[in-house]
Amino acid sequence: MTLYADAGPRRVRQVTADVLLLLAVLGAVWLGRTVRAAVRALADPALGFASGASGLADRLRDAGVQAGRTPLVGDRLASPLDAAASQASALAAAGRGQADAVQDLARTLGLATALVPIVLLLLLWGVPRLRWVRRSQAGRRLAGTPGGEALLALRALTTSPDAALLAVHPDPAAAWRAGDPAVVRALADLQLRSLGVSRASGAGR
C-alpha cells in the first residue's frame, strides 16, 4: 500500500501533513505528561502528612514500650500512648490513601489529555489518507486495464477544472465521445495527475 503520491504538490502536502501530525502527537504527549506531573504535585502535602503521622506513631509506640517497663504503673502509662500511636497510624493510612487517589487521578487525566487529541488527530489524518489510497490504487489499476483509460478520462471530464480540460482539447467531451485516442489518453493522464499517480507508476500494475 502506497501512502504517498508519486510527486507534485499532493506529495508535498502529504509529507507536510505527516510532519505536522508527528509534531502534534509529540505535543499531546508532552501536554499529558505536564498535566500528570501538575496533578501528582497535589499529592505531596498528603504524602508529607502521612510520613509525619507515621513517624509520630513510631515514636509513640516506642514511648509506650518504655512506659510499659515502669514498675506498678507501666500498663496505665503505656495504654494512652498506644492508643495515640494507633490514631496516628490511622491518620498516616488516610494520608497515604488520599495521595494514592490523587496519583491515580493524575495518571487518568494525563492519559486522557494525551490520548483524546491523538485519537482525533489520527482520525482527521487517517480518513482522508485512506480515501486517497483507495482512489490512487483504483486509478493505478484502471491505468493498466483495457478500457481503463476511457473511464479515467470520463472521471477527468466530471471532476477536473474547466481550464485544465480546455488545455487538452477545445471540446474535450465531444472528443471523448468520438473516442479520440490522444484526447482520451491526455484526459486519463489528467485524472492520474490529480490523484498524484504518474503514468509510469500505473503501467504494469
Residue 1 has pLDDT above 70, yes or no: no
Q: What does the pLDDT average to over 83-111?
A: 90
**CA dist., res. 5 & res. 193, Å (int):** 9
pTM of the full predicted structure?
A: 0.71
- Residue 57, number of CB atoms within 10 A of its CB: 20
Q: Report residue 95's pLDDT band, with 50, 70 and 90 as the boundaries.
A: confident
Q: Report residue 74's pLDDT band, with 50, 70 and 90 as the boundaries.
A: low
Residue 37 has pLDDT above 50, yes or no: yes
For 119-128, the pLDDT digits (tens) are: 999 999 999 9
How do the residues of the chain divide into helix, strand and coil, expressed in percent and rounded to 5?
85, 0, 15
Contacts of 60 (CB under 8 A, 6+ apart): 81, 82, 84, 85, 88
C-alpha 75 chain-centroid distance: 64
**CA dist., res. 65 & res. 54, Å (int):** 17
Cell numbers standing for residue 177: 465521445
**CA dist., res. 57 & res. 69, Å (int):** 19
Mapping DSSP onto H, E and C, the string for 146-163 reads CCHHHHHHHHHHHHCCHH
Domain boundaries, the chain: 1-137, 144-205
Q: What is residue 197's DSSP assignment?
A: -
Q: Which amino acid is at 157?
A: L
